[in-house]
Structure 1
Amino acid sequence: MTYGTIATWRMAHDGVVKASKLLKAQGAAGDAVEALINTVEAYPYYKSVGYGGLPNEQGVVEMDAAFMDGDSLAIGAVAGIQNVKHAVSVARKLSDQHFNSFRVGQGATQYAMQNDFEIVNMLTPRARKIWQKRLKEIREKNLNPYNGHDTVGAITLDQKGSMAAGTSTSGLFMKKAGRIGDSPLSGSGFYVDSEIGGAAATGLGEDIMKGCLSYEIVRLMGDGKTPQEACDQAVYPFIEKLKKRYGKAGEFSLVAMNHKGEWGVATNVEFTFSVGNENEQPQILMANPGPNETTVIEPITQEWLDAYEKRIKAPVD
């Protein structure tokens, strides 16, 4: 049997490498997607996920995460959880529950504490400086407070044919307390069915959740579309519909993988992702919207990688 994994953004690449090794060694899809996302959650320089994630307007890091088992369709999710290093692991444990499998706010945090998940102060000194700088910019320059909303979303396929999906994010920087995006919402931020495939989203959650695009991509794959065809046909027409009927559309980027390990991507912005399967070593690629509702995918350059590393680690004034 084949195996594979795909995940959003360059920040997921180290996790994709780890997940690919697990899958190659006949590891389970659920273990692989959790390990992938845990890697991103633990890295302090990724400002939109986990430890070091940017806070809400009150300086509190509130995280959203979800896990889905493609065999049983079991789902666990958390939203607005605080001080928990690996929100996706809490979501995965909740997926074992028939009742109370989606927990929010204080209830989610208490559940994590009662089940011995690692509790830490998620607001790093670096993230606090960025937050304080943004507050000053808002006061002095009357700038829009919102900046950044990248989610790590991932799909895995193991050699037994099982699939899993996971998401994790600290959400929109400077968001209102209690704001929830698409990431923990089934069908919007993620969906996976081992008999078909899975999809995951990143971007502006308020707009992504208007389309239930992850489910729509899986549905199209179930109708026989390739992952790339499904991504293109689900994402681009909906963006145009949203512009026409709502007046605007935020950033949309989605990744997908089917039960054969084939993959696809669609986006309306410059979007990096990482992917690997039995036939391809994990690699970072760049996607951009192309002509006639298609997607252009190219390798990234070393120059781009170097600039990325410099940017995310740049000192905060």
Structure 2
Amino acid sequence: MKWTMIATWRMAIEGITEASKDLEKGCFSGNAIEKAIKMVEDFPYYKSVGYGGLPNEKCQVELDAAYMDGDTLSIGAIGGITDFKNPISIAKKLSEERFNCFLVGLGANEYAQKEGFERVNMLTDRAKRHYQKRIRETIDKGLSPYAGHDTVGMIAIDKNGKMAAGTSTSGLFMKKKGRVGDSPVSGSGFYVDSEIGGASATGLGEDLMKGCISYEIVRLMKEGLHPQQAADKAVLELNEKLIKRRGKSGDISIVALNNKGEWGVATNIEGFTFSVVSEDEHPTVYLCNKINNGQTTYDVATKEWLEAYEKRIKSPITFD
């Protein structure tokens, strides 16, 4: 069986690169998912996930995460957890529970403390400056306070054909306290079945949940569609439905992987990036073009783009 990992966004590339070494040795896909997402969570410059994640309207960092085992269909999920490191590990631990596998807020915090997970203040000085700048932009320029919602989502298949999926996010920037989006919701932010494949979503959770889009992609793959066909079809149909019913559609981006190691992506925005590594492909970042004529196209990120990205995410936060 050919092992493969695919993930949303450029921010996943370091994590899947490290995790790919384990997959090459024959390790379990679920452990690879956890390792890769933890690296994203721990890097303070990735401002939509984990440590340094963007805060809610009260300037508190509330984190959501989920994990799913494609063999057993076991799911663990947390929503609105605060001051605990590596929410993906907490979600993965929860997937071992027969009951109470989705915990939120205080209940999630109490579970994490009981299980001995590390407490850390996840709000960094840099994230505070992002918050202060957005407050000023909202008042002075009329910009939306809700810009910024990049979930890291991954699906992997190992040499034994076992599949797993995981997500982690700080959610919508300046969201209402207690708001939970699609990321930890099974079928919306993620879904995986080792007999078929898996998918993970990023974008505006309130709209992604309206289409249960990750499950829909897996359902289409079960009918025989290639992951690329399934992703394009699901994104296009949900985007059109939202525009028809509600007048507009939020950001919708998807990565998908089947149990053959074949992958696909789809997006209704410009600027979506994703990361892939497999037995046949070195760790690679791709830039997507908005879906057009029913199909999403993409290109390998250039060295210049990657260098500009690195500079941009680490640049000082200034106030006009």
Settle same-fold status: TM greater than 0.5: yes
- The equivalent residue for 2:273 is 272
Deviation at 1:282, TM superposition (A): 1.4
Amino acid at match of 2:217: I
Q: In structure 1, how many angstroms separate the alpha carbons of the residues matched to 2:62 and 2:196?
A: 33
Superposition CA RMSD, Å: 0.9
Amino acid at match of 1:312: I
- The equivalent residue for 1:39 is 39
Q: In structure 2, how many angstroms separate the alpha carbons of the residues matched to 1:106 and 1:290?
A: 40
Deviation at 1:141, TM superposition (A): 3.4
Is 2:259 aligned against 1:259? yes
* C-alpha contact 1:55 1:131 (8 A) present in aligned 2: yes
Deviation at 1:301, TM superposition (A): 1.1
Call closer, same or farther: CA 1:252–1:290 in 2, change over 3 Å: closer
* C-alpha contact 1:183 1:205 (8 A) present in aligned 2: yes
Task: Tell me the alpha carbon deviations over residues 94-114 of structure 1, each in whole angstroms, 9 at most, x when there is no partner.
Answer: 000011000000110111111
Amino acid at match of 1:163: M
Q: How does 1:1-317 map to 2 (within 5 A)?
A: 1-269=1-269, 270-317=271-318
Q: In structure 2, how many angstroms separate the alpha carbons of the residues matched to 1:2 and 1:171?
A: 33
Q: In structure 1, how many angstroms separate the alpha carbons of the residues matched to 2:19 and 2:277?
A: 9
Deviation at 1:171, TM superposition (A): 0.4
Q: In structure 2, how many angstroms separate the alpha carbons of the residues matched to 1:174 and 1:264?
A: 31
Task: Tell me the alpha carbon deviations over residues 245-264 of structure 1, each in whole angstroms, 9 at most, x when there is no partner.
Answer: 11110101000011111100
Segment of structure 1 superposing worse, 303-312 or 71-80: 303-312
Deviation at 1:137, TM superposition (A): 2.6
* C-alpha contact 2:266 2:291 (8 A) present in aligned 1: no
* C-alpha contact 2:27 2:158 (8 A) present in aligned 1: yes
Q: In structure 1, how many angstroms separate the alpha carbons of the residues matched to 2:144 and 2:216?
A: 32
* C-alpha contact 1:130 1:316 (8 A) present in aligned 2: yes
Deviation at 1:143, TM superposition (A): 3.0
* C-alpha contact 2:272 2:289 (8 A) present in aligned 1: yes
Q: In structure 1, how many angstroms separate the alpha carbons of the residues matched to 2:177 and 2:190?
A: 23
Q: In structure 1, how many angstroms separate the alpha carbons of the residues matched to 2:249 and 2:292?
A: 18
TM-score (norm: length of structure 2) = 0.97
Deviation at 1:140, TM superposition (A): 3.3
Structure 1: 5+ residue stretches without partners: none
* Equivalent pairs, count: 317
Segment of structure 1 superposing worse, 275-284 or 199-208: 275-284
Amino acid at match of 2:268: N
Amino acid at match of 2:240: E
Amino acid at match of 2:199: A
Q: In structure 2, how many angstroms separate the alpha carbons of the residues matched to 1:159 and 1:48?
A: 31
Is the partner of 1:130 in helix, strand or coil? Answer: helix
Q: In structure 2, how many angstroms separate the alpha carbons of the residues matched to 1:52 and 1:295?
A: 31
Q: In structure 2, how many angstroms separate the alpha carbons of the residues matched to 1:97 and 1:85?
A: 20
Q: In structure 2, how many angstroms separate the alpha carbons of the residues matched to 1:200 and 1:137?
A: 31
* C-alpha contact 1:237 1:293 (8 A) present in aligned 2: no
Amino acid at match of 2:219: R
Q: In structure 1, how many angstroms separate the alpha carbons of the residues matched to 2:49 and 2:196?
A: 28
* C-alpha contact 1:49 1:152 (8 A) present in aligned 2: yes
Deviation at 1:19, TM superposition (A): 1.7
Q: In structure 1, how many angstroms separate the alpha carbons of the residues matched to 2:251 and 2:315?
A: 25
Amino acid at match of 1:279: D
Amino acid at match of 2:294: E
Q: In structure 1, how many angstroms separate the alpha carbons of the residues matched to 2:267 and 2:141?
A: 31
* C-alpha contact 2:232 2:291 (8 A) present in aligned 1: no
* C-alpha contact 2:85 2:122 (8 A) present in aligned 1: yes
Task: Tell me the alpha carbon deviations over residues 8-32 of structure 1, each in whole angstroms, 9 at most, x when there is no partner.
Answer: 0000000111121110010101100
Q: In structure 1, how many angstroms separate the alpha carbons of the residues matched to 2:132 and 2:272?
A: 28
